[in-house]
Structure 1
Amino acid sequence: MDAVKLCVILLLAIAIAGCSDEIPDTTIPEPTETPVTTSAPVTTIATSSSTPTFTTTSSSTWNSDGVISEGEYAKTLSLNGGNYVIHWKFADDMIHFGLETTSPGWAAIGFEPTTRMKDADIILGGAMNGVPYLFDMFSTGPIGPHPPDTDLGGTYDITEYNAKEQAEGTIVEFSRKTDTGDSYDKILTPGAEITIIWAQADSDEPLFKHNIGKGSETIIL
């Protein structure tokens, strides 16, 4: 195992511990074209003062290629002055997402928290040294911890993903069922009003605290 992969393993293990000093045993699998992974960190996410911008466009074929193509998504929400953009599209019983930032580093989104981060269905992803990663997590407290669903008895339900990082920013794309059947995943229904939380950092290290933006918004899916 090379030094980069070993570094990622150690960083993820520390982050998943949330606010405690304990370091759990965790691993990150080898990447594939459409990889499936386990865990990653999300730090405290609070309310943003930025004014969101929402647009709707016609949509075409979705591809998990780490590129936001014209017409690929049906809806777009711009946050943090355009530094964090969420794209999404429904297709039958699936929902596809694209997260786009203007800085290199990870991007995270959470669905339907109750108090701050508590009970949020969290997805965090990015690319480290060109290798994409994406984690399916659940926050058990208002500021964490936020272990992977599989650690809580749930399942990893991301069906496909990819991520690319360039000097001008990071793009993360992923897909999952609207209703995964996992109690640690929220049901995402077209036209439903839901609360989301989001965060971004300019570091490729998943445990690095969000330092570019964070927030909470109510949106119509």
Structure 2
Amino acid sequence: MKRIAADLFSVIVMGIGIIALSLACLLFWFLGQSNASKPQVLLQRLKSLHHLEVLQAQLVGTQVFREGSRIPFGHHEVVVLARGRAVYGVDLSQATMSLSGRQMRLELPRIEVLHVILNPDTIDFAAPRKAWLASQEEFEIFRQRAASQMQTDLNQQARSAELMAEAEKQAQMWLRTWLNTLGQRDAQISFKYSQQKTATNATETPVIEVPVETP
């Protein structure tokens, strides 16, 4: 009888030990989850990503370039078609995070154009028209200047308000999804310098006068 009581006591003690160990593990896991949701922990994880690439956009430009006098056949003219690609991102190392009540607030720096990729092989020339009294060499120099100007225009296009705003939107979507997986479903995400999307639609192909270089 005493042996049965001793065995029963041992089982009870072992059961209590297992329960205590389980509760300790549960408490450790809970504290770990709580710490993982703290602003400083989240911010440290976020900053470790450094530059986050959020968007790649195709750039396409078509413009008419003209140089010379306006008399008939007295000027060079060519239509230039160029294609490129812009890559946008945000520097997460400059992000800041705070907690207001139960709401997390994440503030990000300005969206950046990380790369503008322009391949000279993708520049096409159409409807070339050489001035009658000009040499072929002069016309080739004119075409090179037109191509260079077109590349400058595509760089400006990459920094348009529309594309910057779209990149900002994509960054917000990515970061909101990331925060949701960590339990921060009501987090507020903002940018220090937010881009305002404007609608500017060109109705015709612009004509650009390329300045004549004098020797």
TM-score w.r.t. length of structure 1: 0.17
Identify, as 1 or 2, the structure richer in helix: 2
Identify, as 1 or 2, the structure richer in strand: 1
